[in-house]
Structure 1
Amino acid sequence: MENYSIQDIANHIYSRINAQKAEIKLAYESSKDGIGFFYIDDLLPLELAYRCYEVFPKKEEMRCLNSIREYKYVSAQMDKHNPLLEKVIYAFQSDKIVSLIGEICGIKKLFADKSLYAGGLSLMANNNFLNPHLDNSHDADRERWRVLNLLYYVTPNWNLENGGHLEVWPNGPKNDPVLIESKFNRLAVMATHDTSWHSVNKVVSEEAARCCISNYYFSSDPLKKTDKFHVTKFRGRPEETLKNILLDADAQVRMLIRKIFKKGIRKNPHVYNDRKDN
């Protein structure tokens, strides 16, 4: 499997998406008044998708994020992991795939992110979660708007009872979410803007972890005219009143810091440093 090139993998992705272009374009169009999204199953050949899971790093090899906002494991430093995972990551950044997804979502001037700012690999094991939140509106340099989130799931036999599924909240985090299962070999794509609240419900499986390969796409323009710069904002789930108060205060403090220090007081460590050419 490691003999696959980035172009080989990109060709598979392109063919699969293009084959269902009409259906997924309709799915995005019908949902974009809230949070535009679509998903596509059986994205890569089975043997390749299984191999992605087999070589996925263990949580001990990743950075743990553990707070009232979230509890998960992440990594963007791809040269520390099996080369196949880096190839899959950058296959999603192929010009023809970026162009195709831009066409499907009606977004011009769409750009991939070689630095993997907030992208890369994520692993969620038992009791891990990600509270409802809005993604940071921009890239690391505040030059482009974050507009699409691409999530490719690679854990075999991951079912509804395991938890760890994507939730989008088109009517806000005080109302009911739409659940998108984190099924094996599924690509989920969702819009990010000033009302695109989303989360991952708690993992309850003790036998496996939900593994995900993710990319963000950016644009010169925001998706919505109402979009303004904001840091990542977290909320409590509808039943978490106290947590919601704390997270609202947390977001206000971090936003104040960014008004004073445009790029923050420290460099975000979740980027791919010293990336080698592929």
Structure 2
Amino acid sequence: MSAVPAPSITAGRIAARVVAERGELASRFAGAAPFRHVVIDDFFEASFAQRLLAQFPGFEQGNFLSEDGRPGSKSTFERIRALGDGFAALDDTIRDDGFLRLLGEITGIDGLRYDPWYLGGGTHENRHDGGLQAHVDFNFHPLERWQRRLNLIVYLNPGWREEWGGALELFGDPATAPEHVIAPVFNRCVIFETHGHSWHGFNRIVLPENERGQSRRSVALYFYTPAAEEPRAAHSTVYVDRPLPDRLQPGHVLDARDVADLQRLIGDRDNRIAQQYGEISRLMTLVRAHERGLAGSMLYAARRVQARLLRRQG
């Protein structure tokens, strides 16, 4: 792989130290567990990180409705070029060959492509009481014949305290405790490989009463490589609900904290069922639309022929 040219479009945006230390970062990425990843503090140049923070969209500007159509604790915004010159510069940077080569040198993955639609990515904002169950991400791009390979997340949370939660969790086994817990502090970047066992999520955000105006903000960027063949094992995001707390054992007397945790776990389960129902409904709508077309007419005719043959054989 060729070296990253200098100067490149990363200048003034990606910290010069990241480019200079890409060999060391590659070693850390390759040797990490439970799956390949690297944590890079001060990822953006300081002034550029502040510029993105200043242009970060308000919660109500993004998509903040949950699966049932009600306001939720998470807001996302995919059209990042509309947010200002800082985010337009970020978009220019991550699509540039120099940046993609830098990312390839750090991760050892050639031929990376950025997603111009930011499907599932863009800006993410999570408020008090929000969290995200352990999951693996969808593995093929919905519009292109691309395989998802990397997530790159940069946090934009000045003054964030670890006891507030919202920490990225990396799991070897989603039914057990996380192997790594990474606080979402300002200008911290996490790059990790995505595949069938890259289980990750973030723990519940618990803000003090006087800090409820704070939120967990990040920029999520996803990268792909061309798929070698037509996807045959494509899947959407797969979640695993958190297990019951260890303290809930026979003989334990429930207190207010226990009841709140149980209500939250049941709510998470109900939301997941509703989400899966929505995905199935959308899939069936696509199937019906497909069957009304030429291919559907041919399939219907073939079914009628098959039924007649079976009737004659009977």
Q: How high is the TM-score relative to the length of structure 1?
A: 0.78
Structure 2 residue 165 is matched with structure 1 residue 159: no
Q: In the alignment, which residue of structure 1 is the partner of 2:241?
A: 236
C-alpha distance in 1 between matches for 2:122 and 2:22: 25
Count how many residue pairs are aligned between Structure 1 and Structure 2: 251
Unaligned runs of 5+ in 1: 1-6, 266-278
| CA distance 1:80–1:27, shift in 2 (3 Å) | same
Contact kept in structure 1, 2:129 and 2:206, CA below 8 Å: yes
Amino acid at match of 2:14: I
Indicate the percent of aligned positions where both proteins have the same amino acid.
24
Which one scores higher on RCO, CA 8 angstroms, separation ≥ 6? 1
The alpha-carbon deviation at position 235 of structure 1 amounts to 1.6
1:100-154, Cα deviation, whole Å (9 max, x unpaired): 2112212122111112121111111211222211111111225111110011111
Q: In the alignment, which residue of structure 2 is the partner of 1:27?
A: 28
Unaligned runs of 5+ in 2: 1-7, 245-261, 291-314
| CA distance 1:14–1:155, shift in 2 (3 Å) | closer
Amino acid at match of 1:84: G
Q: Give the SS at the match of 1:92.
A: helix
Contact kept in structure 2, 1:62 and 1:74, CA below 8 Å: yes
**Counterparts of residues 1-278 of structure 1 (less than 5 Å):** 9=10, 12-13=13-14, 15-31=16-32, 34-66=34-66, 71-169=73-171, 171-177=172-178, 178-205=180-207, 206-221=212-227, 228-239=233-244, 243=268, 247=272, 251=276, 254=279, 261=286
Which structure has greater helix proportion? 2
The alpha-carbon deviation at position 189 of structure 1 amounts to 0.5
C-alpha distance in 2 between matches for 1:131 and 1:231: 15
Q: CA RMSD in A?
A: 3.0
The alpha-carbon deviation at position 41 of structure 1 amounts to 0.9
C-alpha distance in 2 between matches for 1:238 and 1:248: 16
The alpha-carbon deviation at position 21 of structure 1 amounts to 1.6
